[in-house]
Amino acid sequence: ETGVTQSPTHLIKTRGQQVTLRCSSQSGHNTVSWYQQALGQGPQFIFQYYREEENGRGNFPPRFSGLQFPNYSSELNVNALELDDSALYLCASRVGNTGELFFGEGSRLTVL
């Protein structure tokens, strides 16, 4: 039990639509990271928020955006969905700017 919960667990969208994925972290975890994990691949870093500001980003286009809220929840938004966006999206949180990540179980997105 990591104390990180994600919703929804599964969802299906069509190409061109928009999606919002949500994450609730443990109290005190002021850093949240989002990862995309395609089938058979390792998690790919999308971006990270520290105290509600983005402080790191991977090689993902601007249509991937996020928010972090003061209550330790966060969102990942993806606009103009493409078929290749189909993946497991993982949220992970931690205390401070370094150290181990605590992962949620992910949201599996299928884009048709």
Partner 1 sequence: AQSVTQPDIHITVSEGASLELRCNYSYGATPYLFWYVQSPGQGLQLLLKYFSGDTLVQGIKGFEAEFKRSQSSFNLRKPSVHWSDAAEYFCAVGLYTGGFKTIFGAGTRLFVKA
Residues that bind partner 1 (CB under 8 A): 2, 4, 33, 35, 41-45, 48, 50, 55-58, 90, 92, 97-106
Nearer of residues 49 and 85 to partner 1, judged by Cβ: 49
How far is 101 from 43, CA to CA, in rounded Å? Answer: 12
Nearer of residues 27 and 98 to partner 1, judged by Cβ: 98
Burial of 58 (0-12, 13-18, 19+ CB in 10 A): middle
Least distance in angstroms from the C-beta of 30 to partner 1: 13
Q: What is the DSSP letter of 84?
A: G
Least distance in angstroms from the C-beta of 98 to partner 1: 5
54, 36 contact by CB (below 8 A): no
Least distance in angstroms from the C-beta of 8 to partner 1: 15
Least distance in angstroms from the C-beta of 16 to partner 1: 28
What is the Cβ-side half-sphere exposure of residue 51, based on CA atoms within 13 angstroms?
A: 2
103, 89 contact by CB (below 8 A): no
